[in-house]
A = this chain, B = another copy of it.
Amino acid sequence: MAGAQTDEPSRRPIPLTNSTKSPRTERGERTRRKILDAARAEFGSRGFADTGITEITRRAKVALGTFYTYFDSKEEVFRALVRDMSEQVKVAVAPAFAEERGTLASEGKALAAFLAFVREHQQVYRIIDEAEFVDPEGFRTHYETTAARIGERLEEGSAAGQMTGAADALERDVRAWAVMGMNVFLGLRFGVWGKEDPQAVADIANRLISDGLKR
């Protein structure tokens, strides 16, 4: 409920799955990565219910025992995957803010980067959307974290005099969730379903949040 307003979720560290099972070596990290990539391909194409652990280990080319070195169950690897995809989205748009943050231009760059990422990783929608049912807490955390990040950037834009300021916490939250919702649906329509040029789509959306629709 009020979580997004009071918890500052973007500052909460994203925990690695079950911490007692976190890999301690680089080789362990690579194996965990292989399992997560295989899980992404399997859950992303068949969905949670129709994917078994053996399909994941077969694709990852690891033994079943190795899987259990890193994850306790199918549910746990799914939850880890949701956090992983959330993190990958963040990393994919980060270069948009390398030169400047808190500008409308960098928001446009971030959207173009997100659309390009979605085009290359279409499973991201299926996995995060299925999390609503399989891992509701991870689903909510993903959006609260993303919205908090957007909200901080808009605050920076306001502090820098580029954007109008939010009068209060409600306005801050509404703006952040509005911008996020816009990006998520543009990703579905133009990244997953459509083949339009990401930059052209991002430019139009950026004009909308910059100037509004009022003549």
A residues contacting B by CB (< 8 A) are 1-4, 47, 49, 104, 126, 129-130, 132-133, 140, 143, 147, 154, 157-158, 161-164, 170-171, 173-175, 177-186, 188-190, 193-196, 200-201, 204-205, 208-215
Residues of B within 8 A of A129 (CB): 129, 132-133
Q: What is the CA–CA distance of A133 and B126 in the complex, to the nearest angstrom?
A: 9
Q: A170-B201, A194-B2 are in contact. Are A184 and B186 (CB under 8 A)?
A: no
* Cβ contact within 8 Å between A213 and B157: yes
Grouping DSSP codes into helix (H, G, I), strand (E, B) and loop, the A interface class, with mixed when no group exceeds half, is helix
* Cβ contact within 8 Å between B184 and A215: no
Q: What is the CA–CA distance of A186 and B177 in the complex, to the nearest angstrom?
A: 6
A-B residue pairs in contact (CB < 8 Å), sample of 6:
A162-B215, A163-B215, A164-B214, A170-B200, A173-B189, A209-B212
Residue of B nearest to A204 (CB): B174
Whole-angstrom distance between the Cβ of A115 and the nearest chain B Cβ: 11
* Cβ contact within 8 Å between A213 and B104: yes
Q: What is the CA–CA distance of A213 and B189 in the complex, to the nearest angstrom?
A: 24
Q: What is the CA–CA distance of A67 and B195 in the complex, to the nearest angstrom?
A: 42
Residues of B within 8 A of A175 (CB): 204, 208, 213
Picked from B132, B183, B193, the residue with its CB within 8 Å of the CB of A181 is B183
Q: What is the CA–CA distance of A4 and B147 in the complex, to the nearest angstrom?
A: 28
Picked from B154, B170, B189, B210, the residue with its CB within 8 Å of the CB of A177 is B189
Q: What is the CA–CA distance of A189 and B170 in the complex, to the nearest angstrom?
A: 11
* Cβ contact within 8 Å between A161 and B215: yes
Further contacts, 8 of them, CB under 8 A, given A143-B185, A211-B211: A4-B189, A104-B213, A130-B133, A164-B213, A170-B204, A177-B185, A182-B185, A211-B214
Whole-angstrom distance between the Cβ of A62 and the nearest chain B Cβ: 28
Residues of B within 8 A of A177 (CB): 182, 185-186, 189-190
Residue among A158, A161, A163, A164 having the largest count of chain B Cβ atoms under 10 Å: A164
